[in-house]
Structure 1
Amino acid sequence: MKKVLLAVLMFPVALQAQVLLTEDFNGLTVGNVSDNITGATPGQGDYFFFASNGAAPTTSTNAAVTNAQIVSLGAGDLALSLLGPNGNNGSRFVWQDTFPGIWTTRTSGNNIIELEVDINPGAGTTLSRNTFGVYIFNADADRVLAGFVVRAATRELLLVAYSTPTGNPVGNYTYSLAAAPGIQLPANTVSRIGISYNVTTRQAIIKGPGIAAAGIIVTGSSTATDPAEIDFVSFAGSSNTVVNAEASTMVMDNLVVRASNTDTLLNTTEIASAGTLTVYPNPSTDVFNVNSPVAFSSYTITDINGRVVKTATLEAATQAQINVVDLAPGAYILNIASENGSASHKIIKQ
């Protein structure tokens, strides 16, 4: 699957935020996440895995340890790949049990949990109704405080939140983000999605490609509830009118979870409202093209150990070509600076 980074991070004004958790999966090993699908014992990286074909009557038959895989994207870059159910029912959950303790270490007043992750929806398929995404759960794992899913068939991005839509009972609801066909992620492209939940105001926010800088907001209905678990998820996706007939796969990577006292999700600010910074192609063997909504004056490339391997000063410009022929294959961080701020993006040299 071609990995092209659609960078939705923008030049930010510095804001206070506390990083609680990061995961790029590069410390794990290619293969099954766990040898257990009941969620009873942890596997690689202390990740638990639960896979189900769903309650009867169900046509799903493919729940197995192979549904959750650590896969190679090339040049030493690993990611999580989930395979959804192949019938009308079923689900997949991948999580760690450490998050409740991590959340309690946050700085006082940082009552917004912010989560960002990369997802590649593939090409899309009309046969599979599977959905894939990330949920922030409460302690009983019955309320999605904030989450998102992407439909395999259409690549449509949706917000999930425990809420009370007008005329409906309280529950976990999935929200379209625009009129049909909704907001659709680019095919075979890595898009960065951000979700957040404010424990005080109960607001759930989603940001990503095609969404205005302020994000789309739903007010939740779960009072006095702290986030307690973060799950990578997949579901059959069947509906009363269209039944799932095929399993599909999506790849997720580069999870970051923060606690903040203000909105820093995807680092979007008024300074960045003019547009997004794009870096392409990614991976690349020789040159990365950079297009920016704000003139930038320098860049630095660091390796995964934080060592600077390339740097340059430029005349202020909104476009540039960065030659990386001299770099060894691998994963790097490209840092771009302007007088208004900076942005950092993961790049892959093949």
Structure 2
Amino acid sequence: MKKKLLLGAILFASFLTANAQDSCDAATAVTTGQYSVSAINGAYEAGCYAGNSQNAPAAEWYAYTATANGYLTVSSAITGNANGEAGIDTRLSILTGTCAALECYGYNDDVDPNATTPDYRSEATVPVESGTVYYIVWDNNWQNQAFVFDVTFTAADCVSPNVFGFQSPSVGTDSASLSWMAAPGSPDYDVMYGAIGFTTDDTTGTTVSVDTNSADLSDLPAEANLWYYVRSNCGDSQGDWVGPFALTLAAGLDYSNGFDDAANRADGFRNLAGWGLSTDENEGATLSHSPTGFLFSALSTTGASNSWILAKPVVLAAGEEVTFSYYAQLLTNSTTLNATLNVTVGMSSDISTHDIVDTYTFAGSAAYANHTFTYTADVAGTYYFAFNNASAQATGNNFILLDTVLLDSNLGSEDFLASQFSIYPNPASDVINIANAENILVNGVQIVDLNGRVVKSAKFNGVTEAQINISDLSSGMYLMNVSSDQGTITKKIVKK
């Protein structure tokens, strides 16, 4: 993708002749080899994985039918297509299904747009199954000049899943459910997970094997941010590892992130489109609210902004009220320009299912301003909050800066009483101690899971200090209700 439209003509040699068609129904059949695209002038009829492909004004359609199980590679990054700023700028989608119901199967815009010599050509490799038709679609989102593309196929006995077929995990504080599109040949699978940065060659990863295209993981490090890989296992052979994919476990409240931990600035915040994370120490010292990291999103100059970033998911109890706080600033030379920042929430990382729970409109200012609102969970579960830059169209360089995100729990009106108690250690693996310095008498303790089930209870005869053994509980988050002569308090605890 280049910022300007390049026009021109390029001469090619040694390619197969196959005039492209302008619709899925009339897609030109291709096998392996090189094909020329003389111009892009047809109607694009389906969207794909990234960007705004569904809005592309034109495309050229081809159809490849797999003759065996293996891997299909489609590429315009070949000799004959000029590279660099003055070179070819293509965008590729690979679709499956019928023309009436197409699904994205592969996508690539630029091979390497950030290289010293940027490569705006496109290449994608996808697993394919014998007898299945795969649609190859080139659209003119960036330019419409002629180019050549290459189709190659490599047969394989054991084919791994498609990287585009992985769904967002469903997570708790120490558990996750993974799922992905079944690989050709219906193999078994291996899943390897570990700390961010690990590779499949490391001995630090943990591997589990499953016979379906899903895996339930438990007893994971509480609230951790992990990576995972998946490969097909065909018994006497295995496919290549696919990944890494992010596995962000949910946090318990209270949660905060000032993006200042150099080893883990993001801490589960995930960019969907249009947000960046500054890690520049000098820049952060002057532009962040809590030096040295911050998030930023540019205001669009071509239309209303629609940039999204997901926060680390959090686990909430039914009826739990959350105080949500953050600091924002509009970095601009204008004193009259406004920015709009929505916060949305849902019980899925799919932002299309979210509801807007708060809107903050603020003007250009030299200082950060704090914005706070409350949210109450309807049911117990994992909640996904997201920030949406929804500002109106602007001119020039203008940025929303976002920093110091806080989520605090307000479980009731007994805050003062709760502040008199010490609950330690927390997280804990064996026992939790309950103490206070105000001679408040403890009469009983009840531990409840996040589904409202009482999993442990103990009675005491008016003691100022108590201890309860949790070694037999499963790892995870619980609510501890402590009844006393001055009332009942609720504390969140984590069993390691």
| TM-score over 0.5 for the pair | no
| TM-score, scaled to structure 2 | 0.25
Quick one: higher RCO (CA 8 Å, sep 6+), 1 or 2? 1
Indicate the structure (1 or 2) with the bigger Cα radius of gyration: 2
